[in-house]
Structure 1
Amino acid sequence: MAKILIISGEPSGDFFASGLIKSIKKCSKNIDCYAIGGKQTESAGAELIADIDKLSVMGFTEVLCKLKTIKKVLDKVYGWIRENKPDAVILIDFPSFNFKVAKLSYGLKIPVIYFIPPKIWASRYARIKFIKKYIRFVIVIFPFEYDIYKKAGIEVYYFGNPSYSLYNKEVKSGGIKKIGSEDKYPVISFLPGSRKAEIKYHSGRIIESMLLIKKVYKDSFFIFPFKKEIDSSRFVSVLKKKNIPEKWYVITDSVSDALYSCDVTVVASGTASLEACFYGKPVIIVYYLNYLTYLIAKVLVNIRYVGLINIMANDCVVPELIESKFTPDNVFKEVDRFLKDDIYKKSVIDKISGTVSTLRIDALPLESSAKLIYDRIISKNN
């Protein structure tokens, strides 16, 4: 049996890892998959070496608080790799951890593939030298990334964006359902984020924003989507603490249903902020960091925008409310403008659509990536 190790460090990576594992297993029945991942990775058929719940942290200062835990998991991974000598190691983002794994694997002559490499175009571009030395090839999920790696002389492949591919499948299958009723307007979807720290920092601001909207729009209704693997208990506790009536909102585990049903989406920056743009609705991107983390990020990050849709367009396609700008008053103002100014709303949606269209490609991202890894690495070693 061939052995592969897949490492993701956060919920969005867990989602991509699970799809990749399913696709790899379709290539051959004689593959055992092991992972640093979460519930989705495990349900896809991988044996977990460690759970990402111990690793998924946000920002520099939060990482410092978990250094002992991260080192413990890293030592466990090192031991497993030395003992099992997998046929391939597949890394998904999470560079601070994954670079250490890559270096060890390279030294043991184990091929390393980076599926969704770190965002070197946003910060720490010098990491590309490490990638060139230790990584066999990279698979990117944005077309502009392909040119960056190609120019650097790195073997790179682009088969499309997995999130956009999944969206297209859901639309074609008719699996997306409407939440809410015709007498509710506007319907606002709030996506606070997937990490514990994001939910901690965002919950109060989101709920205060909701109260401001409700004062002006008496029939407004709110949707809070949390994927099954996300612990939403902190957010629910804030709702109860603020005495928010349950008839005002619904909590769902279907992000796609929430995005399809709303009139406006307010979403934490990250993978979900791009997914929100697939549905042809106005989007507002928000984010709040620990202040020290924010100051460090300002020094390291060399891009004008934080939202993926804006980065892709190199333009402020959708409004961003980051750090001190992320206030309930500002969220209300942006929502209110979208609801009252049809010309502005249409111009934003048109820009979103034009930017999203650059992701269209005939290939199936996860299936094509799995076949490449199997043909180039796994089948040749067995």
Structure 2
Amino acid sequence: MSIRLNLLISAGEASGDVHGARLLRAITSRRPDVRAFGMGGALLAAEGMDPTVRSENLSVVGIFEVFEKLPSLVRALTALRREALRRRPDAAVLIDFPDFHAFLARRLERDGVPLVYYVSPQVWAWRRGRAKTIARRARRIITLFPFEVDIYRRLGADAVWAGHPLVDEVREGLAEPSPLPPKTRRRLLLLPGSRTAEIRRHWPPMSEAAANLARRLDLEVIALAAPGVSPELLAGAGERGIEVVATGKHALLSSADLAFVASGTATLEGALCGTPMVVVYRTSPASFAIGRRLVKVRWISLVNILAGEEVVPELLQGDVDASRLEKEGESLLESPERLLRMRFELERVARRLGPPGASDRAANALLEAIGARSSDGRDTEGHGVERLA
């Protein structure tokens, strides 16, 4: 291993860029000599990673949607492998983005690069064979959810639970001022997603249902635009009386009486903010048909998966239409008892994400796994590493 710590970090989605940036910041505080390169977005670059590949235009949802980005994905794979051969990293940190990282991991393993998985891919839900492969290849798997540790350990992996970095991110977000003045009416918040394809599928029914509810129940409707989302993807917002904002997500979530949320990380942010929600998920019919044959879990939303029961209603595919959303929304808004019960259950889910400090625990676990020393010269292997499981 080189004296200077040299890492390849690969994150292919916006959430991975956020988690990767926090991880790199924590590593740098322990090893100021670290040099990182790889794939990521603006946040990882801001923490000092040399971006071999920019990830902003690579993220996709659905099996068949991958084909649209295939040339770009192949170029990214080739560039990362070439740079790894040139720089010879001490380890590669692979953050989620499971299909792409399956191909990258195969090549890096052949090249003798140790692999550490962070934000372990949720392939346990639908590709048990892939989970076995990850368990075999990984030097260590650092998970966000406690139950993932048991899954990967049963497959023979060195797996540790660090907790979820969203706990810190949401805490910091709630300390920032809201972009809007205090509400004078009940507030309905719309989070249609962060990717172009999912926004196009979710926005029309979300916005129509929200506008109808606003007229009948006298609601204030706010749509949250994810970073980099083109305003044209939220077409018709102004005409329907929907205000679009791009900042203050956690403050807005905490103030909302109800949210319509695209399935994904945002559902966990809602849980941490105690926001009652209806979760929606719509992908292409072909992708959904194949996914239903592969998926081994009962629910689509992470909130319900963590709870082990239905805490929040889920609308999938054809049920993601304006009339169903309007009906679900009205049912919740007109039942203070259901809203209160949901907030209680969401608090229970939030506790399962672990205490603050996840990125610090993940950094310690990573350095321990590759036998690196902290800046004070202490070998982290075998001691000094706080872990939750």
TM-score, with structure 2 as normaliser:
0.90
2:384 is aligned to none
Aligned-partner residue type, residue 365 of structure 1: A
State the shift of 1:292 in Å: 1.3
Match of 1:301 among 295, 303, 307: 295
Structure 1, unmatched stretches of 5+, are none
State the shift of 1:141 in Å: 0.3
2:197 is aligned to 197
2:232 is aligned to 234
Secondary structure of 2:123's match? coil
1:266 is aligned to 260
1:280 is aligned to 274
Match of 1:376 among 369, 382, 385: 369
2:351 is aligned to 357
Preserved contact between residue 212 and residue 329 of structure 1 (Cα < 8 Å): no
2:118 is aligned to 115
1:168 and 1:239 map into 2 onto residues whose CA distance is: 29
2:373 and 2:26 map into 1 onto residues whose CA distance is: 18
After superposition, the C-alpha distances for 1:266-288 in whole angstroms (9 at most, x for unaligned) are 10000111111112221110111
1:308 and 1:191 map into 2 onto residues whose CA distance is: 16
2:182 is aligned to 181
Match of 2:342 among 344, 348, 363: 348
2:75 and 2:179 map into 1 onto residues whose CA distance is: 45
Preserved contact between residue 202 and residue 320 of structure 2 (Cα < 8 Å): no
Q: What does 1:1-382 correspond to in 2, within 5 Å?
A: 1-171=4-174, 174-177=175-178, 179-183=180-184, 185-218=185-218, 220-228=219-227, 230-239=228-237, 243-245=239-241, 248-361=242-355, 364-377=357-370, 379=372
Aligned-partner residue type, residue 138 of structure 2: I
CA RMSD of aligned residues (A): 2.0
Aligned-partner residue type, residue 305 of structure 2: I
Large movers: runs of 4+ above 4 Å: none
Structure 2, unmatched stretches of 5+, are 378-389
Secondary structure of 1:121's match? helix
Preserved contact between residue 159 and residue 368 of structure 1 (Cα < 8 Å): yes
State the shift of 1:221 in Å: 1.2
State the shift of 1:45 in Å: 1.6
Preserved contact between residue 92 and residue 115 of structure 2 (Cα < 8 Å): yes
TM-score, with structure 1 as normaliser:
0.92
2:146 and 2:177 map into 1 onto residues whose CA distance is: 27
Is the alpha carbon distance of 1:194 and 1:182 closer, same or farther for their aligned partners in structure 2, counting shifts above 3 Å? Answer: closer
1:226 and 1:341 map into 2 onto residues whose CA distance is: 28
Is the alpha carbon distance of 1:378 and 1:226 closer, same or farther for their aligned partners in structure 2, counting shifts above 3 Å? Answer: farther
Is the alpha carbon distance of 1:107 and 1:259 closer, same or farther for their aligned partners in structure 2, counting shifts above 3 Å? Answer: same
2:284 and 2:232 map into 1 onto residues whose CA distance is: 17
Aligned-partner residue type, residue 128 of structure 2: Y
1:236 and 1:151 map into 2 onto residues whose CA distance is: 45
2:222 and 2:230 map into 1 onto residues whose CA distance is: 13
Secondary structure of 1:139's match? strand
Aligned-partner residue type, residue 200 of structure 1: R
1:193 and 1:325 map into 2 onto residues whose CA distance is: 17
Aligned-partner residue type, residue 220 of structure 2: F
Is the alpha carbon distance of 1:283 and 1:273 closer, same or farther for their aligned partners in structure 2, counting shifts above 3 Å? Answer: same
State the shift of 1:254 in Å: 2.2
Q: Percent identity?
A: 27
- Would you tell me which structure has more helix in proportion to its own residues? 1
